[in-house]
Amino acid sequence: MIYTSHIEISENAIQNNIKFIQNILGDETIFSSVVKGNAYGHGINIYCPLAYKYGVRNFSVADASEAYLVKKNLPYNDVNIMIMSMIDNDQLSWAIENDISFYVFEKNRLQEALKIANKIHKPARIHLEVETGMNRTGIAFKDLPEILKYIKANQKHLIVEGICSHLAGAESISNYKRITKQRKKFKTLKKKIKHSYAITPMYHLASSAATIRYPKTHLDLVRVGILQFGFFPTKEILVHYLTKKKTFENPLQRVISWKTKVMDVKTIKAGEFIGYGTSFFTNQETKIALIPVGYSSGYSRSLSNQGKVLIRGKRYDVIGTINMNMMAIDITHAETIEKNDEVVLIGKQGDSEITISSFNDAIQLINYELLTRLPENLPRIIIK
């Protein structure tokens, strides 16, 4: 064992989740697989080839370095890659050369794209991001006519492949009014463009939450991230789905497991502190197992005295503070636990399971953040 812990990626779970998403969408809507944040911690190099195997041909990333990784792992002609956020002017020629599409939300990027497209004799494929109420990136409505005129004048070099926007929190009912306003604004825009400009872009608006909750937002393409990995964006969206379908069964399967092993076992007498500082005091003789994972491997320090792990199919508490490369588990009440026993940090063992969302209750970290903290260099192994 070269690494102190490893991640297992379930191919069956991926297949199941992709099928679930495709069934919701039907044939009219393209499923763009969002794989930013190293495929939500699952590994672009691992996840993308599997998604491709199960029929996904469209991928969305946040920046050019991620687009590069997707391209490297899927060097096929039928793969579409879209950059939704950052691309520097000096990365534009690589993107245009390689048919990578990218968001445009300000004039400078558009001008630079035109220059390069003109120079290399290849059109830039752009997605115009418009502002509908998220108030992040996005072109204001009042600036759109000018931008569209500019594009029309240079249509040999600038292809409007998409027009899009992002919803400001479709995963929570408390944003219902804001989301509805955004949806309507986008719809009005769509009509206007259809009547006034000779372009036929794809329209897209929805991420995972809207894909489940607001079917009207499916349009031509959806950008779905977290669902692929077996998580509903929030419990609220899960409950919405279950209620609508009149079922209790979660249709998604978790893809990721994270495992390590016991490196030492010892007994501490009563009346001692364990590890750094004074956060855990032994009121009684306490048996501990030490495991070689800490916050440098992405196990949040705020899980000190809070985390749970599985050993031999049972749950045990993390005690004391999480160190950089180590933590202690209270195994006082275990029958036998020995060096080299498998420890599950996330995932199943026997009939028990540690879910990422069980951490969230303890430390208020959302799934997205916990997943993307998993270091890139942990080995990821594909299992069935």
Ligand X SMILES: *Cc1c(COP(=O)(O)O)cnc(C)c1O
By C-beta, is 71 or 166 nearer to ligand X?
Answer: 166
The H or E element that residue 127 is part of is strand 124-129
- Using CB under 6 A as the binding rule, whether residue 223 contacts ligand X is answered as yes
Of the residues 43, 201, 230, 233, which one makes contact with ligand X according to CB under 6 A: 233
Measured distance CA(47)–CA(184) in Å, rounded: 35
Number of residues that bind ligand X (CB under 6 A): 12
Compute φ and ψ for 36, nearest 5 degrees: -70, 175
Site for ligand X contains 24 (CB under 6 A): no
- CB count in 10 Å sphere of residue 147: 19
Residue 41 as a binder of ligand X (CB under 6 A): the answer is no
> With CB under 6 A as the contact rule, which of the stretches 147-155, 173-181, 223-231, 274-282 interacts with ligand X?
223-231
- DSSP output for 36-74: HHHHHTT-HHHHHHHHHHTT--EEEEEEHHHHHHHHHH-
- In angstroms, the CA 132 to CA 184 distance is 9
Residue 20: both structure tokens together:
């679930």
Q: Please report whether residue 294 would count as binding ligand X according to CB under 6 A.
A: no
**How far from the centroid of its chain's Cα atoms is residue 112's Cα?**
30
Minimum Å distance from CB 44 to ligand X?
14
What is the separation, in whole angstroms, between the first and last Cα of the chain?
Answer: 21
Give whichever of 194 and 216 is closer to ligand X, judged by the CB atom.
Answer: 216
Q: Which residues does 312 contact at the CB level (< 8 Å), separation at least 6?
A: 334, 336, 337, 341, 349, 350
Q: Report yes or no: 308 and 343 within 8 Å, Cβ to Cβ.
A: no
> CB neighbours of 77 closer than 8 A, spacing ≥ 6?
none
Shortest distance (Å) from residue 69 CB to ligand X: 16
Q: Of residues 166-205, which lie at the interface with ligand X (CB under 6 A)?
A: 166
> Please, which residue, 116 or 221, has the CB nearer to ligand X?
221
Provide, rounded to whole angstroms, the least separation between the CB of residue 341 and ligand X. Answer: 35
Residue choice 138, 225, 251, 298 for contact with ligand X (CB under 6 A): 225
CA–CA distance, 200 with 159 (Å, rounded to integer): 10
State the minimum distance, in angstroms, from the CB of residue 136 to ligand X: 9
| Residue, CB closest to ligand X | 225
| Candidate list 7, 34, 310, 343; residue touching ligand X; CB under 6 A | 34
Could you tell me if 319 and 280 are in contact, meaning their C-beta atoms sit under 8 angstroms apart? yes
> Binding to ligand X by residue 224, rule CB under 6 A?
yes
Which residue, 124 or 226, has its beta carbon nearer to ligand X? Answer: 226
The yes or no reply on residue 226 touching ligand X (CB under 6 A) is yes
**Binding to ligand X, residues 80-119 (CB under 6 A):** 84
208 binds ligand X (CB under 6 A): yes
**Residues 124 to 143: which contact ligand X by CB under 6 A?**
none
User: How would you classify the pairing of strands 352-354 and 380-383?
Assistant: unpaired
Site for ligand X in 342-381 (CB under 6 A): none
Report in angstroms how near the CB of residue 205 gets to ligand X at its nearest: 9
Residue ranges that bind ligand X, judged by CB under 6 A: 34, 36, 84, 166, 207-209, 223-226, 233
